[in-house]
């Protein structure tokens, strides 16, 4: 009765939670373009996106994604075999337990009419599946402990998920072991299925079960007299009354050894009816997991396959803008926080110098989630998130490796653009409030207004200070010709859009400061085309990147006022004011 | 610096990524030699796209040659040490043929003019003789030869090409030449435009059509239109031919100042098609050191913080001259930095240059370089081959003034051919 109520309650919470979470996929807004669509428009766009897929040739790529990406999880396999093994063990172990064991009355019993949980192969299989989950959870926990920060952050949600799985499976094994040793359970069963008048028969069956089924009776010495004959008789009773439902528990290859371990304390356990308590724990932990599923990391069970399938189904170029927005919201649930993106992130090493977790993609995603779900973030967190976003070079590595197939790149661009509208990161927004020419002019006459600090994060002799790094430049313009930022730049007439080769020239004539306010330095996407093609082998990209670090620091620490109380001449206005932000 | 050793021994390591190095890699690949190629990203990038064979001889008279083959015969008589003079015309022809066939297969077809030189327009409005031109420039040769009414078009914000400059330089010779300046589609608001970006844009249909729209009304009486070489990186001749259909008259490209799009085209064509033919590229690296080891060489090559040791049976030096540091000049003289080979040069620095900057004979330093034997092996101080399997090709060789003689491409390609041939004979023996 109690369990029935709890089951219905958890099922209700599960359904409601799922509904609310799925609704969020269509309501959460990330990026400036998201404001253009209402929730219903996004639902409509999702449906419209689905129709040509289901009825078109793309249905095959959908099938392929279902088999390889979802069922076989090849995206994980390609990255890390050990993690794939762990995940497959947990995923299939649990799935099979759910189908064969938790839903045995509806599924297993109808497929196999003679089904009894205590018969083989089910007895053995249950142990196998449970063992799979345990090994998988163990491997996952080991990975999290071994890698540790900063390579892999473990959040409470990761811990909750692993602990919950471990509690479910371990309580299951303990429950089975406790039932094996339990004489009260034996008597309940015997009374129900083999009512015996004869005291001797009862004793012989007890002797038989004590010897072959591991039941621990309160007075074991009672069977010792004439053991062989008693056992034989017990065997006969067993065959006629019990054997059709009970195989020997030896095949429960984990629970049975566990029951042997428990044997010394079995009299106590049996008196306390530990089996009932364990059953309670086992059931309750399962129902808690069910109720929590939509609100925890477990929800990736729904979101990740949807994400992977939509990735296969939607053409990345022609995808409807509204679906792009929906996909971002979905991504927040599809992330399993496996940490692969951070392990492969090009700028992850920056975290060692600037301990801002939002530099790391796996953590940035969570901050974005917090921001969009909570409506907003505290300015400090917003600043951190924007800084993390601006340190990202959009190199695309995270996007190509994400096992959940999330378009992380799009998420970073959209969230950074959204933050820029709010005035973050301040140095960048500040820089964009004046043109290169204006900055050059200001910096030239007010160099003193810049904060003076040596950048501790750079080696003592930085690239941009060493003439050997750029003196070979022959101004052939190959870097500029290769540069996608120059190709894209709107370059209004009158503005001095400094190109990479002009930056090399400014360095040569000792006017490094004049480069710091240029879009070239701030917008460089570090694609390395200039550096790869430089006929003189000049590390153009490395220099630009170094200048950006320097510029970021200078503009971040720009004092609002000069020591004499006048406004800093380098400050063109407060972030987010008049001219606003352009990204 | 991290050091790794390449366990593989290469039969031949080609040092240099200019036209000589690229051609040598092609000849090696065509002969089944699994060579490695080492060098920076530059080199061939500075090519104009014209293939000069022998354009001017003797330079002091500035005589333009109509027939390059007859010209080489004359050079053979007058300057017997000239690298091309060491070769048979048949081998030179074979070398050029192999390169032009390769380029055509790679999507960069060339046109020759019945084995005669053709006159072409340079980005500065001068005219020079050349042996072969990319097909996208062919109509320019015809237009210049016939002197028909012609329109030159350039772009606002493009510094490397000035139609007005060219038109005024050719005014006397070509009265029917007009010029016009337009903005490049999509770049109307830009104060500066760049050739490669325009070339990438023109690989798409829409900008092609928009550009044709802008050019068509300017054509009027013109029977040909000349434009800067920006018609795509790949398959330029196809883009040009589609474009001229839209404009209605023949259209031709004129190279811009280096590094120009024709240079990018050559580099892309060579580098992308050589790899498929078994050449192991070590681009963006340079040879840091080399020493003899056993029967061959051990090279230390470096780039991006990694040093790699590579073994080679033979080496082909195509490192070029001063610009690419194949030769280095200091207060005392000119040296070859890799092997410290003796460099043929004027006795003292004061003799490097003539007193007259514009001296038509050129300057003695222009003819400095490596002395080689008939197998293109650099000589040591005793006049003997410095190493059995060290070869040299291209502009690093002495006794030539490729800029004034207009023989740069021919020199690079033909000597690379001879050097690879000599290597394979040496390796076979």
Kindly state the percentage of chain A with pLDDT values over 70. 91
- Residue A482: closest C-alpha in chain B: B196
What's the pLDDT score for residue B61?
Answer: 94
Contacts A494 to B, Cβ<8 Å:
191
Distance CA A179, CA A158 (A): 32
Q: Measured between CB atoms, does B195 come within 8 Å of chain A?
A: yes
List of residues 6+ apart from B204 with CB closer than 8 A? none
Contacts B286 to A, Cβ<8 Å:
537
Identity of the residue in B197, B200, B259 whose CB atom sits nearest the CB atom of A476: B259
Q: Could you give the 3-state DSSP secondary structure of residue B200?
A: helix
Identity of the residue in A476, A491, A536 whose CB atom sits nearest the CB atom of B192: A491
Contacts B256 to A, Cβ<8 Å:
none
What does the DSSP assignment read for A274-315?
HHHHHHHHHHHHHHHHHHHGGGSGGGHHHHHHHHHHHHHHS-
Q: Does some domain include residue A144?
A: no
Does residue A446 contact residue A523 with C-beta atoms inside 8 Å? no
- Residue B324: closest C-alpha in chain A: A536
Identity of the residue in A477, A486, A537 whose CB atom sits nearest the CB atom of B40: A537
pLDDT confidence tier of residue A579, bands split at 50, 70 and 90: very low
Taking the alpha carbons at both ends of chain B, their separation in whole angstroms is 39
* Record: contact B191-A493, CB cut-off 8 A: yes
Contacts B191 to A, Cβ<8 Å:
491, 493-495, 497
Residue A489's CB is within 10 A of a number of other CB atoms, namely 18
What's the pLDDT score for residue A426?
Answer: 84
Q: Could you tell me if A454 and A539 lie in one domain?
A: yes
Identity of the residue in A481, A491, A533 whose CB atom sits nearest the CB atom of B191: A491
Q: Does some domain include residue A167?
A: no
Does residue A464 contact residue A546 with C-beta atoms inside 8 Å? yes
What's the pLDDT score for residue A576?
Answer: 35
What value does the mean pLDDT take over residues A432-461?
71
Domain range annotation of chain B: 2-76+274-428, 123-254
The first and second tokens of residue A21, run together, are 């979470």
The 3-class secondary structure across B125-154, one letter per residue, is CCEEEECEEEHHHHHHHHHHHHCCCEEEEE
Does residue A472 contact residue A536 with C-beta atoms inside 8 Å? yes
What's the pLDDT score for residue B304?
Answer: 64
Q: Nearest C-alpha of chain A: how many angstroms from B183?
A: 13
pLDDT confidence tier of residue A571, bands split at 50, 70 and 90: low
Residue A253's CB is within 10 A of a number of other CB atoms, namely 14
Q: Measured between CB atoms, does A72 come within 8 Å of chain B?
A: no
Question: pTM (2 decimals)?
Answer: 0.76
What's the pLDDT score for residue B378?
Answer: 98
Contacts A537 to B, Cβ<8 Å:
40-41, 284, 286, 303
Which residue, chain included where needed, has tokens 């892309």? B268
pLDDT confidence tier of residue A564, bands split at 50, 70 and 90: low
Q: Nearest C-alpha of chain B: how many angstroms from A530?
A: 10
Strands B334-335 and B328-329: antiparallel
Does residue A504 contact residue A538 with C-beta atoms inside 8 Å? yes
Contacts B323 to A, Cβ<8 Å:
474
pLDDT confidence tier of residue A159, bands split at 50, 70 and 90: very high
Contacts B258 to A, Cβ<8 Å:
476
Q: Does some domain include residue A534?
A: yes
What's the pLDDT score for residue B253?
Answer: 98
Contacts B186 to A, Cβ<8 Å:
none
Closest CA to A425 of A572, A516, A553: A553
Q: Measured between CB atoms, does B284 come within 8 Å of chain A?
A: yes
- Whichever domain contains A540, its CATH number is 1.10.1060
List of residues 6+ apart from A91 with CB closer than 8 A? A73, A136
What value does the mean pLDDT take over residues A570-575?
54
Q: Does some domain include residue A124?
A: no
Whether residue A388 has pLDDT greater than 60: yes
Kindly state the percentage of chain A with pLDDT values over 90. 52
Distance CA B110, CA B98 (A): 12
* Record: contact A535-B284, CB cut-off 8 A: no
CA A99 to chain centre: 26
Identity of the residue in A474, A493, A534 whose CB atom sits nearest the CB atom of B41: A534
- Residue B157: closest C-alpha in chain A: A493
- Residue B39: closest C-alpha in chain A: A535
Q: Does some domain include residue A246?
A: yes
* Record: contact A481-B194, CB cut-off 8 A: yes
Q: Could you tell me if A452 and A419 lie in one domain?
A: no
pLDDT confidence tier of residue A415, bands split at 50, 70 and 90: very high
Whether residue A580 has pLDDT greater than 50: no
pLDDT confidence tier of residue A377, bands split at 50, 70 and 90: confident
What's the pLDDT score for residue A582?
Answer: 36
Q: Which of residues 86-115 of A touch B (CB under 8 A)?
A: none
Does residue A483 contact residue A474 with C-beta atoms inside 8 Å? no
Q: Measured between CB atoms, does A497 come within 8 Å of chain B?
A: yes
Q: Measured between CB atoms, does B204 come within 8 Å of chain A?
A: no
Q: Cα separations (Å) of A327 from A25, A205, A307, A320, B68?
A: 8, 63, 7, 10, 65
Contacts A480 to B, Cβ<8 Å:
194
What value does the mean pLDDT take over residues A196-219?
85
Q: Which of residues 253-282 of B touch A (CB under 8 A)?
A: 258-259, 264
- Residue A480: closest C-alpha in chain B: B194
Q: At what angle do helices A300-313 and A321-334 cross, to 10 degrees?
A: 150
Q: Nearest C-alpha of chain B: how many angstroms from A495?
A: 8
* Record: contact B45-A478, CB cut-off 8 A: yes
Q: Which comes out higher in pLDDT, residue B27 or A446?
A: B27
Closest CA to B386 of B399, B394, B376: B376
Q: Measured between CB atoms, does A495 come within 8 Å of chain B?
A: yes
| Residue A505: exposure state from Cβ atoms within 10 A (0-12, 13-18, ≥19) | middle
Residue range A242-298, pLDDT digits in tens: 888 999 999 999 999 999 999 999 999 999 999 999 999 999 999 999 999 999 999
Residue range A77-133, pLDDT digits in tens: 998 999 999 999 999 999 999 999 999 988 999 999 889 999 989 999 999 999 999
Among A497, A535, A539, A542, most B C-beta atoms within 10 A, so best to mutate, is A535
What's the pLDDT score for residue B153?
Answer: 98
Contacts A493 to B, Cβ<8 Å:
189-191
Distance CA A569, CA A447 (A): 10
* Record: contact B286-A494, CB cut-off 8 A: no
Among A436, A459, A472, A477, most B C-beta atoms within 10 A, so best to mutate, is A477
Closest CA to B226 of B156, B151, B170: B151
Which residue, chain included where needed, has tokens 């599960």? A14
Q: Nearest C-alpha of chain B: how many angstroms from A316?
A: 20
Contacts B196 to A, Cβ<8 Å:
481-482
Instruction: Decide which of A369, A393, A424 is a domain's last residue.
Output: A424
Distance CA A10, CA A12 (A): 5
Q: Cα separations (Å) of A455 from A439, A451, A458?
A: 21, 11, 6
Q: Which of residues 51-110 of B touch A (CB under 8 A)?
A: none
Whether residue A224 has pLDDT greater than 70: no
User: What is the CATH architecture assignment of B123-254?
Assistant: 3-Layer(aba) Sandwich (3.40)
Range of the domain at A505: 447-556
What's the pLDDT score for residue A578?
Answer: 36
Q: Does some domain include residue A286?
A: no
Q: Cα separations (Å) of B385 from A444, B86, B319, B373?
A: 59, 16, 18, 7
Q: What angle do CA A170, A175, A177 make, to 5 degrees?
A: 95
Whether residue A218 has pLDDT greater than 60: yes
Q: Could you tell me if A24 and A60 lie in one domain?
A: yes
Domain B2-76+274-428 is found in CATH 3.40.50.2300: no
Q: Does some domain include residue A549?
A: yes
* Record: contact A495-B259, CB cut-off 8 A: no
Among A533, A534, A536, A542, most B C-beta atoms within 10 A, so best to mutate, is A533
What's the pLDDT score for residue A190?
Answer: 86
Strands B224-228 and B251-254: parallel
What's the pLDDT score for residue A459?
Answer: 59
Q: Nearest C-alpha of chain B: how many angstroms from A353?
A: 22
List of residues 6+ apart from A206 with CB closer than 8 A? A183, A186, A215, A217, A223, A234
Q: At what angle do helices B261-275 and B89-105 cross, to 10 degrees?
A: 90
3-state helix, strand, coil in chain A (%, to 5): 70, 0, 30
Does residue A434 contact residue A442 with C-beta atoms inside 8 Å? yes
- Cβ burial B186-212 (10 Å sphere, 16+ → b, else e): ebeebebbbbbbbbbbbeeeebbeebb
What value does the mean pLDDT take over residues A30-38?
92
Q: Measured between CB atoms, does A565 come within 8 Å of chain B?
A: no
Q: Could you give the 3-state DSSP secondary structure of residue A239?
A: helix
Distance CA B255, CA B124 (A): 10
Mean pLDDT, rounded, of chain A: 87
* Record: contact A537-B284, CB cut-off 8 A: yes
Q: Does some domain include residue A194?
A: yes
Contacts A491 to B, Cβ<8 Å:
189-192
Q: Could you tell me if A413 and A460 lie in one domain?
A: no
Ordered per-residue pLDDT tens for chain B, 429 residues: 567 777 678 999 999 999 999 999 999 999 999 999 999 876 799 999 999 999 999 999 999 999 999 999 999 999 999 999 999 999 999 999 999 999 999 999 999 999 999 999 999 999 999 999 999 999 999 999 999 999 999 999 999 999 999 999 999 999 999 999 999 998 887 788 999 999 999 999 999 999 999 999 999 999 999 999 999 998 999 999 999 999 999 999 999 998 899 999 999 999 999 988 889 999 888 899 999 998 899 999 987 667 889 999 999 999 999 988 999 999 889 999 999 999 999 999 999 999 999 999 999 999 999 999 999 999 999 999 999 999 999 999 999 999 999 999 999 999 999 999 999 998 876
Which residue, chain included where needed, has tokens 């960069």? B108
Q: Nearest C-alpha of chain A: how many angstroms from B392?
A: 21
Q: Could you give the 3-state DSSP secondary structure of residue B358?
A: coil
Q: At what angle do helices A156-181 and A122-147 cross, to 10 degrees?
A: 150
Q: Which comes out higher in pLDDT, residue A235 or B225?
A: B225
How many A×B Cβ pairs under 8 Å? 61
**Structural domains of chain A, count:** 3
Which residue, chain included where needed, has tokens 């992308």? B272
Whether residue A19 has pLDDT greater than 80: yes
Contacts B43 to A, Cβ<8 Å:
535
| Residue A60: exposure state from Cβ atoms within 10 A (0-12, 13-18, ≥19) | exposed
The first and second tokens of residue B261, run together, are 């799009």
């Amino acid at each position: 009765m109690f369990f029935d109520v709890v089951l219905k309650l958890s099922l209700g919470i599960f359904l409601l939670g799922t509904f609310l979470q799925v609704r969020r996929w269509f309501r959460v807004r990330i990026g400036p373009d998201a404001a253009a669509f209402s929730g219903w428009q996004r639902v409509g766009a999702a449906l419209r996106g689905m129709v040509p897929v289901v009825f078109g040739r793309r249905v095959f790529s959908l099938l392929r994604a279902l088999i390889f990406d979802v069922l076989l999880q090849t995206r994980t396999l390609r990255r890390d075999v050990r993690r794939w093994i762990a995940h497959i063990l947990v995923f299939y172990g649990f799935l099979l337990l759910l189908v064969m064991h938790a839903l045995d009355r509806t599924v297993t019993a109808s497929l196999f009419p003679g089904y009894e949980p205590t018969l083989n192969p089910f007895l053995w299989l249950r142990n196998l599946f449970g063992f799979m989950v345990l090994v998988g959870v163990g491997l996952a926990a080991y990975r999290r402990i071994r890698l540790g920060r900063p390579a892999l952050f473990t959040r409470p949600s990761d811990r909750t998920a692993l602990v919950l799985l471990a509690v479910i499976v371990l309580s299951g094994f303990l429950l089975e072991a406790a039932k094996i040793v339990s004489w009260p359970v034996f008597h309940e069963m015997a009374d129900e299925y083999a009512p015996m008048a004869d005291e001797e028969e009862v004793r012989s069956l007890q002797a038989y079960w004590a010897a072959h089924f591991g039941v621990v009776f309160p007075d074991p010495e009672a069977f010792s007299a004439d053991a062989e004959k008693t056992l034989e008789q017990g065997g006969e009773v067993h065959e006629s009354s019990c054997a059709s439902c009970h195989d020997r528990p030896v095949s429960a290859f984990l629970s049975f050894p566990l029951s042997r371990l428990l044997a010394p304390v079995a009299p106590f356990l049996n008196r306390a009816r530990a089996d009932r308590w364990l059953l309670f724990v086992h059931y309750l932990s399962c129902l808690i997991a069910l109720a929590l599923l939509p609100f925890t990391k477990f929800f990736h069970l729904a979101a990740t396959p949807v994400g992977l399938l939509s990735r296969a189904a939607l053409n990345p170029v022609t995808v409807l803008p509204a679906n792009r927005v929906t996909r971002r919201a979905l991504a927040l649930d599809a992330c399993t926080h496996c940490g692969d993106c951070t392990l492969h992130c090009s700028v992850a090493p920056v975290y060692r110098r600037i301990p801002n977790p939002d530099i790391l993609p796996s953590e940035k995603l969570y901050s974005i989630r917090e921001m969009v779900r909570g409506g907003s973030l505290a300015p400090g967190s917003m600043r951190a998130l924007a800084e993390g976003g601006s340190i990202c070079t959009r190199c695309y590595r995270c996007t190509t490796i994400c096992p959940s197939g999330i378009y992380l790149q799009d998420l970073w661009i959209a969230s950074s653009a959204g933050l820029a509208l709010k005035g973050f990161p301040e140095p960048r927004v500040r820089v964009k409030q004046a043109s290169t020419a204006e900055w050059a002019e200001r910096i030239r006459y007010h160099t003193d207004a810049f904060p003076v600090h040596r950048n501790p994060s750079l080696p003592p002799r930085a690239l941009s200070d060493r003439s050997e790094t750029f003196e070979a430049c022959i101004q052939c313009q190959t870097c500029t010709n290769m540069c996608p930022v120059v190709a894209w730049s709107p370059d209004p007439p009158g503005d001095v859009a400094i190109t990479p080769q002009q930056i090399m020239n400014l360095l040569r004539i000792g006017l490094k400061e004049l480069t710091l306010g240029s879009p070239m330095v701030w917008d460089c996407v570090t694609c390395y085309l200039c550096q790869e093609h430089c006929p003189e082998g000049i590390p153009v990209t490395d220099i630009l990147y170094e200048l950006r670090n320097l510029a970021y620091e200078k503009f971040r620490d720009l004092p609002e006022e000069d020591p004499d109380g006048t406004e800093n001449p380098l400050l063109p206005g407060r972030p987010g004011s008049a001219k606003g932000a352009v990204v | 610096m991290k050091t790794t050793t390449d366990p593989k021994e290469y039969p031949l390591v080609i040092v240099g990524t200019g036209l000589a190095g690229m051609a040598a890699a092609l000849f090696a690949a065509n002969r089944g030699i699994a060579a490695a190629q080492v060098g920076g990203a530059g080199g061939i990038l500075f090519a104009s796209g014209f293939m000069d064979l022998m354009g001017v001889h003797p330079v002091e008279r500035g005589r333009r040659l109509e027939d390059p083959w007859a010209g080489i015969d004359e050079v053979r008589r007058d300057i017997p040490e000239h690298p091309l003079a060491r070769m048979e015309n048949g081998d030179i022809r074979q070398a050029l043929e192999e390169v032009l066939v390769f380029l055509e297969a790679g999507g960069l077809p060339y046109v020759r003019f019945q084995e005669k030189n053709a006159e072409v327009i340079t980005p500065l409005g001068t005219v020079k003789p050349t042996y072969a031109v990319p097909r996208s420039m062919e109509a320019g040769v015809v237009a210049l030869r016939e002197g028909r009414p012609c329109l030159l078009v350039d772009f606002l914000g493009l510094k490397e090409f000035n139609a007005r400059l060219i038109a005024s330089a050719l005014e006397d010779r070509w009265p029917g030449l007009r010029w016009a300046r337009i903005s490049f589609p999509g770049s109307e608001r830009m104060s500066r435009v760049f050739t490669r970006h325009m070339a990438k844009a023109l690989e798409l249909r829409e900008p092609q059509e928009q550009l044709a729209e802008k050019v068509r009304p300017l054509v009027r009486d013109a029977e040909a239109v000349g434009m800067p070489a920006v018609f795509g990186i790949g398959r330029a001749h196809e883009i040009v031919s589609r474009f001229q259909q839209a404009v209605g008259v023949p259209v031709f490209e004129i190279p811009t100042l280096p590094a120009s799009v024709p240079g990018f085209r050559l580099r892309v064509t060579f580098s992308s098609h050589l790899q498929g033919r078994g050449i192991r590229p070590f681009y963006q690296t340079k040879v840091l050191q080399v020493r003899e080891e056993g029967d061959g060489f051990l090279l230390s090559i470096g780039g991006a913080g990694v040093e790699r040791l590579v073994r080679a049976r033979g080496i082909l030096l195509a490192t070029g001259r001063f610009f690419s540091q194949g030769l280095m000049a200091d207060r005392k003289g000119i040296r070859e930095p890799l092997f410290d080979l003796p460099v043929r040069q004027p006795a003292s620095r004061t003799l490097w240059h003539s007193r007259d900057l514009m001296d038509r004979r050129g300057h003695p330093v222009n003819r400095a370089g490596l002395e080689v034997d008939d197998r293109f092996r650099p000589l040591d101080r005793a006049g003997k081959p410095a190493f059995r399997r060290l070869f040299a090709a291209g502009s690093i060789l002495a006794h030539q003034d490729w800029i004034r003689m207009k023989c740069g491409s021919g020199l690079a390609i033909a000597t690379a051919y001879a050097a690879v041939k000599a290597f394979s004979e040496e390796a076979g023996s």
